[in-house]
């Protein structure tokens, strides 16, 4: 059956632009070539920037097993690479595609310099090792991005020009798509790095601020871990669960929930004796101080809810706004339970730590009064299952 190469190319181009994984793109191309043109085997060596070599990325057909292991990576100084990097194929044969048969004939051509023939002989030896009859280089601008190697056809016939043109055109399309995919991947990595930088800087600054309050060493980290653990548990119970944005907001809100303490004088935070009413009121200002610090950052408005309301109580007797029940944003209810549990289980200036079991009982006891019952239950469940 005749193959409509034009149509195949059109379809391939359409399918490939949204594949943002270079390896998968190459796999698609190699599979297509092997299947459509019925070739014994094909493989692709892709340039690896970090290693500055060409790595066997895809191998289809019988070649995979036969490639000597030390050839799975082709060095950038290898004769085959240098041959294509210097565009020798175009120079000798008028096209980028290199045919084994053509190269073999060239060795007998008296017009070709001895020096070039020597290089060509090395290239041929390399092609024999790789059992390849055709080499198709992938150029992006002036860089050699990779090489596609094809074995013999299953029917033993020679490759015809129409086929070679199709392979070259397809390979050229794939080269573009691969470069596009690489750019996408790099942008994705960049985004990830930026997110990590944001989170780590927030952690470092929150930890520095926490260090002012001598009695809360490690508190922020523990509250953050526990809040996320509670959220994950709720997510698992409910289909769909929380979206990534909620978890990100919770993460940042837990890290920053006590940020407002920076506005409370050190001598009050670290006082060893009972606080006066005035001092207590100064401490109660910390959620709103935190809100004021973070208010200018629009992207954090979801997190700010957690900072503002983490001292509200389910029965409406909390602060700063006296919200009650479902009025309290979920993000704040989660932090409230995690924060109180950690406070109960560590020493404070005015009392020593409760044993873990007692702290858990206390949370259960205050469920529906201080705490949202749904969150308190989740904490109890996590504890029962030995997860905290």
For a second copy, the binding residues (CB under 8 A) are 6, 9-10, 13-14, 17-18, 169, 172-173, 176-177, 179-180, 183-184, 187-188, 190-191, 193-198, 200-202, 204-209, 211-212, 259, 262-263, 265-266, 293-294, 296-297, 299-300
Closer by beta carbon to a second copy, 239 or else 267: 267
- Whether 75 contacts 81, CB under 8 Å: yes
Q: Omega of the bond prior to 320 within 30 degrees of 0, cis?
A: yes
Task: Enter the tokens of residue 343.
Answer: 């406070």
Give the nearest distance from C-beta 70 to a second copy in angstroms. 35
Contact 16/25 with Cβ under 8 angstroms? yes
Nearer to a second copy by C-beta: 144 or 294? 294
Residue 204: CB minimum distance to a second copy, A: 5
Minimum distance of a second copy from residue 189's CB (angstroms): 11
Within the chain, strands assigned E span: 41-48, 53-61, 73-75, 98-99, 134-140, 143-150
Q: Hey, how many other C-beta atoms are within 10 angstroms of the C-beta on 384?
A: 10
Angle at 239 between CA 236 and CA 245, to 5 degrees: 75
CA distance 304 to 301: 5
Q: How far apart are CA 352 and CA 40, in angstroms?
A: 76
Rounded to a whole number of angstroms, the minimum distance from the CB of residue 227 to a second copy is 19
Q: Nearer Cβ to a second copy, position 207 or 366? A: 207
Shortest distance in whole angstroms from residue 172 CB to a second copy: 7
Q: DSSP assignment, residue 259? A: G
- Shortest distance (Å) from residue 355 CB to a second copy: 32
Q: Nearer to a second copy by C-beta: 129 or 208? A: 208
Find, among 172, 170, 84, the residue nearest to 126 by Cα: 84
Pick between residue 133 and residue 256 the one whose CB is nearest to a second copy: 256
Q: Which is nearer to a second copy, 194 or 384 (CB)?
A: 194
Q: DSSP of 198-237, one letter per residue? A: HHHHHHHHHHHHHTTSGGGTTHHHHHHHHHHHHHHHHHHH
Least separation, in Å, of the C-beta of 230 and a second copy? 24
Burial class (CB in 10 A: 0-12, 13-18, 19+), 36: middle
Query: Which one, 128 or 143, has the nearer CB to a second copy?
Result: 143
Q: Is the distance from CB of 149 to CB of 130 less than 8 angstroms?
A: yes
**Whole-number minimum distance, CB 205 to a second copy, in Å?**
4
What is the β-pairing status of strands 73-75 and 98-99? unpaired
Buried b (16+ CB within 10 A) or exposed e, 314-341: beeebbeeebeeeebbbbbbbbbbbbbb
Could you count the other beta carbons within 10 Å of the beta carbon of residue 84? 21
Pick between residue 92 and residue 169 the one whose CB is nearest to a second copy.
169
Q: How far is the CB of 15 from a second copy (least distance, A)?
A: 9
Both structure tokens of 243: 């979206």
State the minimum distance, in angstroms, from the CB of residue 256 to a second copy: 8
* C-alpha dihedral sign at 261, 229, 189, 49: positive
> Which CB atom, from 13 or from 354, has the smaller least distance to a second copy?
13
C-beta of 61 vs 287, nearer to a second copy: 287
């Amino acid at each position: 059956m005749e193959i409509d190469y034009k149509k195949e190319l059109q379809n391939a181009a359409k399918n490939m632009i949204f594949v943002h994984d270079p390896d998968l793109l190459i796999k698609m191309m190699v599979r297509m070539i092997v299947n459509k043109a019925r070739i014994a085997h094909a493989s692709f060596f892709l340039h690896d920037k970090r290693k500055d070599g060409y790595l066997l990325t895809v191998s289809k057909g019988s070649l995979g097993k036969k490639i000597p292991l030390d050839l799975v990576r082709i060095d950038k100084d290898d004769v085959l690479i240098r041959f294509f990097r210097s565009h020798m194929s175009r120079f000798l044969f008028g096209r980028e595609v290199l045919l084994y048969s053509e190269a073999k004939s060239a060795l007998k051509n008296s017009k070709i310099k001895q020096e070039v023939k020597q290089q060509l002989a090395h290239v041929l030896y390399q092609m024999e090792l790789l059992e390849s009859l055709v080499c198709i280089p992938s150029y992006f601008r002036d860089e050699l991005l990779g090489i596609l190697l094809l074995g013999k056809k299953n029917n033993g016939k020679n490759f015809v020009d129409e086929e070679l043109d199709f392979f070259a055109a397809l390979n050229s399309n794939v080269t573009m798509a691969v470069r596009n995919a690489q750019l996408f991947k790099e942008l994705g990595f960049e985004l990830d790095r930026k997110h990590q930088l944001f989170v780590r800087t927030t952690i470092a600054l929150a930890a520095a601020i926490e260090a002012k309050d001598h009695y809360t060493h490690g508190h922020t980290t523990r509250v953050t871990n526990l809040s996320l653990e509670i959220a994950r548990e709720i997510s698992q119970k409910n289909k769909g669960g929380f979206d990534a944005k909620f978890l990100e907001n919770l993460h940042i809100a837990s890290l920053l929930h006590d940020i407002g303490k920076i506005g409370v004088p050190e001598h009050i935070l670290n006082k060893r004796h009972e606080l006066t009413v005035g001092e207590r009121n100064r401490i109660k200002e910390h959620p709103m101080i935190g809100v004021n610090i973070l208010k200018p950052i629009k992207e954090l408005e979801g997190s700010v809810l957690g900072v503002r309301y983490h001292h509200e109580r389910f029965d409406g007797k909390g602060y700063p706004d006296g919200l009650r029940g479902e009025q309290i944003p979920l993000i704040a209810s989660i932090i409230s339970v995690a924060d109180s549990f950690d406070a109960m289980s560590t020493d404070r200036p005015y009392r020593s730590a409760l044993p873990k079991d007692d702290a858990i009982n206390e949370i259960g006891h205050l469920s529906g009064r201080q705490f949202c019952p749904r969150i308190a239950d989740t904490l109890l469940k996590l504890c029962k299952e030995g997860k905290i």
